[in-house]
Amino acid sequence: MNQDLGTVRTIATAHRQVPGGLLPALHAVQDALGHVPDEAVPVLAQSFNLSRAEVHGVLTYYHHFRRQPPGRQIVQVCRAEACQACGADEVMAQAESLLGCAAGETRADGEVTLLPVYCLGLCASSPALQIGDKLHAAVTPARLPRLLADAGLAR
Amino acid sequence: MNTPTVYVPRDSAALAAGADETAAAIAAEAARRGLSVSIVRNGSRGLFWLEPLVEVATPQGRVAYGPVHAENVPALFDAGWLQGGAHALGHGLTDAIPYLARQERLTFARMGLTDPLSLADYQAHEGWAGLQAALRLDGAAIVQQVLDSGLRGRGGAAFPAGIKWRTVRQAQAAQKYVVCNADEGDSGTFSDRMVMEGDPYLLIEGMAIAGLAVGATRGYVYIRSEYPHAVATLREAIARATAAGFLGDDVGGSGRAFHLEVRMAAGAYVCGEETAMLESIEGKRGIVRAKPPLPALAGLFGQPTVINNVISLASVPIILARGAAFYRDYGMGRSRGTLPFQLAGNIRHGGLVEKAFGLTLRELVFDFGGGTRSGRPVKAIQVGGPLGAYVPASRWDEPLDYEAYAAFGAVLGHGGIVVHDDSADMAKLARYAMEFCALESCGKCTPCRIGSTRGVEVIDRLRRDERRAEQVILLRDLCDTMLHGSLCAMGGMTPYPVLSALDHYPEDFGLSVPDKKAA
């Protein structure tokens, strides 16, 4: 944790002169550590001359930021209308069942976090999902088991 | 013999269909056969059902094959595709594919033709012509061109871009800003993403022109975090354009400065609302601001700010390059120019169709789109994103025009079109609209924050048939409050999908058709 705090301090210092720098700083912390630990809040607050409450407010306002470490891999299933029109609800239910993990949660073994996402911008080839950095379009119930297996997420 | 050139798109939608694997397979197969092939990673043509759409350059023009997956590659080599040979996946000359040939691509003229990051490609395809024209004009004359073109904001609100620019230009301030709203969060829209991934210099050029027009020296592009490829491509494009002198302290040798920076959003849908976006760029919670003051006078960091959507800004270069009249001659009524429509959801030929305003939904969804992907009848078409109305069959022949759509209580919005087949449950979709609003509301105004949660509850009771007739009255009353009492479009437009579903598909709510007048 001391090493993580050092990382946060470096990031905070690098962003303190950037206009509106708190959001880029939070991104940088999450990119470096996988999440934004609670210990980062006072460090950022001091650097940006804000109250801890203000930093906490920004951190918790945005869906993108996580306060807990995610699973080793993140699976995001698009839930927006264009994907719903092509069976996204079924894909999410199937993903929950195949991964053994509810939407919005991290599996007990810490291997995977399953998240809903509101639009990956692949609306013409829905339903879409993302495993790690890799996008997949036109996902069908027949394809999903293999996609998860290829990512080492089969049970 | 010259090295044949093969184009494999790098657009997210192509990557999601396996374009990287296809490109790797082409390189490997060429090597195995001892052939030399030059692979260019271009933008997408926007024919997403054919992705990965691979093109081969031939003396006759570019020949299209798609969808080309890695396992198809050896057979394509066998068929002599490097010379444009026939194959079951072949579609002939790309430009002659009816879906493309029937479009009017002005903003998307270059899309899919070029390597998105190649400055040489951009220059060779009319790139920077708008900026060069703008550099010969003073700011007022640039604004006049945009005014005369009739360009209206393509993000959804359709406010005349020239009037906004004139307001910022006339404001007195030491620092002004140009902010591009690239928080394309609406389901069924991807044209902003395509521009940033497939033709990023176009957006850079449009923003530089805006900066020159209004006297702004700094610009921000606010891009959603769900678009990592767009963020990476635009950042790289900004670095290259700056190094080449199209951005920076001396734009195109004019002695005038324009610095551009990408800011990544963080997954809050409401930050697509312009004032919430400004708060977010300032590093705060993305809470909607009350207007006035207008952002044009007191916007980012309290300074005069032009805020436009990606497509609005990307439409500017061709207006300056070809003249306002060229652009204005497309379209109908007060809707001038073209709109890049996005065909999405349950549709056979989903993709990008840029056409002048005035065509109909029927032409788009059936002539271009080929009906549903499932093969079932089309039931409802949501136009204009999650806050747009569901348009029933009786309105599919209305012209796609801002005023014509407003006249029957719908919106064109950003041109996103999501098709649902007859298996769609409109009451469930109406509930989803309220649920989404509850999830994404910034919480500043009561109608949106509380109304959306109550809306979910009322629709649940309605669907369970708990005093159904009363719930209908309650739901309409609630929608009326949200429509008229919300601070921004989030709460103010959530009633559009809800009421249109209730009005046009009452049977899905367990109401007999005459009951729809219950309120």
Q: What is the DSSP string of B261-276?
A: EEEE--S-GGGGSHHH
Whether residues A19 and B429 touch (CB distance < 8 A) is answered with no
Chain B residues near residue A136 by CB distance under 8 angstroms: 16
Query: If you measure CA to CA, which chain B residue comes closest to A86?
Result: B346
- Interface size A-B, in CB pairs within 8 Å, comes to 145
**Residues 6+ positions from B229 with CB-CB distance below 8 Å:** B10, B11, B12, B15, B197
pLDDT band at B1 (very low <50, low <70, confident <90, very high): low
> With a CB-CB cutoff of 8 Å, which residues 14-33 of chain B face chain A?
15-17
Residues B181 and B47 in one domain: no
Whether residues A81 and B386 touch (CB distance < 8 A) is answered with yes
For residue B226, give the nearest of A62, A83, A117 by CB distance. Answer: A117
Closest CA to B396 of B354, B363, B443: B363
pLDDT band at B517 (very low <50, low <70, confident <90, very high): very low
Chain A residues near residue B283 by CB distance under 8 angstroms: 19-24, 48, 58
Chain B residues near residue A122 by CB distance under 8 angstroms: 12-13, 16, 190
CATH no. for residue B465? 1.20.1440.230
**B69 falls within a domain:** yes
Chain A residues near residue B432 by CB distance under 8 angstroms: 81, 84
Residues B129 and B58 in one domain: no
What would the mean pLDDT of A139-152 be, rounded to a whole number? 94
Q: How far is the C-alpha of B209 from the C-alpha of B206, rounded, in Å?
A: 5
CATH no. for residue B220? 3.40.50.11540
More confident residue, B2 or A97: A97
Whether the per-residue pLDDT at B139 is higher than 80: the answer is yes
Choose from A16, A23, A35, A143 for mutation: most chain B CBs within 10 A.
A23
By percentage, how much of chain B surpasses pLDDT 70? 98
Strand partners, A74: A113
List domains and CATH numbers for chain A.
2-61 (no CATH), 73-150 (3.40.30.10)
CATH no. for residue B48? 3.40.30.10
Q: Report ipTM for this prediction.
A: 0.97
Domain residues for the domain of B506 are: 426-517
Residues B19 and B95 in one domain: yes
Q: Among B50, B67, B101, where does a domain finish?
A: B101
Residues B259 and B281 in one domain: yes
What would the mean pLDDT of B261-281 be, rounded to a whole number? 97
What would the mean pLDDT of B381-409 be, rounded to a whole number? 97
Mean pLDDT across chain B: 97
Distance from CA of B279 to the nearest CA of A (A): 9
Closest CA to B173 of B283, B280, B295, B310: B295
* H-helix or E-strand spanning residue B383: strand B378-383
Rounded to two decimals, what is the model's pTM? 0.97
Whether residues B226 and A120 touch (CB distance < 8 A) is answered with yes
Whether the per-residue pLDDT at A154 is higher than 60: the answer is yes
Q: Which of helix, strand or coil describes residue A131?
A: strand
Our count of domains for chain B comes to: 4
Residues B322 and B339 in one domain: no
The pairing of beta strand B90-93 with beta strand B259-264:
unpaired
**B124 falls within a domain:** yes
**Residues 6+ positions from B240 with CB-CB distance below 8 Å:** B117, B119
pLDDT tens for each residue of B444-496: 999 999 999 999 999 999 999 999 999 999 999 999 999 999 999 999 999 99
Q: Among B421, B441, B471, where does a domain finish?
A: B421
**B412 falls within a domain:** yes
**B56 falls within a domain:** yes
Residues B141 and B287 in one domain: yes
What would the mean pLDDT of B131-156 be, rounded to a whole number? 97
Q: What is the phi/psi pair of residue A49, to 5°?
A: 55, 45
Distance from CA of B133 to the nearest CA of A (A): 32
A58 touches chain B (CB under 8 A): yes
**Residues 6+ positions from A10 with CB-CB distance below 8 Å:** none
Whether the per-residue pLDDT at B189 is higher than 50: the answer is yes
A128 burial via Cβ count (<10 Å: 0-12, 13-18, 19+): buried
Looking at residue A1, its pLDDT comes to 61
Looking at residue A2, its pLDDT comes to 80
What would the mean pLDDT of A120-148 be, rounded to a whole number? 96
Residues B512 and B446 in one domain: yes
Q: What angle do CA B427, B224, B291 make, to 5 degrees?
A: 80
Whether the per-residue pLDDT at B29 is higher than 60: the answer is yes
Contact criterion met (CB below 8 Å) for B344 and B383: no
pLDDT tens for each residue of B367-377: 999 999 999 99
Chain B residues near residue A62 by CB distance under 8 angstroms: 265-268, 285-286
Residues B129 and B253 in one domain: yes
Residues B304 and B338 in one domain: no
Q: What angle do CA A118, A120, A121 make, to 5 degrees?
A: 115
**B111 falls within a domain:** no
A119 touches chain B (CB under 8 A): yes
By percentage, how much of chain A surpasses pLDDT 70? 99
More confident residue, B349 or B516: B349
Residues B366 and B441 in one domain: no
Q: What is the DSSP string of B349-364?
A: T-EEEEEETT-BHHII
What would the mean pLDDT of B270-299 be, rounded to a whole number? 97
Distance from CA of B325 to the nearest CA of A (A): 33
Q: Among B421, B444, B472, where does a domain finish?
A: B421
Looking at residue B514, its pLDDT comes to 58
Whether residues A63 and B386 touch (CB distance < 8 A) is answered with no
Residues B214 and B251 in one domain: yes
For residue A81, give the nearest of B12, B188, B347 by CB distance. Answer: B188
A103 touches chain B (CB under 8 A): no
Contact criterion met (CB below 8 Å) for B215 and B139: yes
Q: How far is the C-alpha of B70 from the C-alpha of B82, rounded, in Å?
A: 16
**B106 falls within a domain:** no
Looking at residue B516, its pLDDT comes to 46
Whether the per-residue pLDDT at A81 is higher than 90: the answer is yes
Whether residues A83 and B13 touch (CB distance < 8 A) is answered with no
Residues B202 and B57 in one domain: no
B268 touches chain A (CB under 8 A): yes
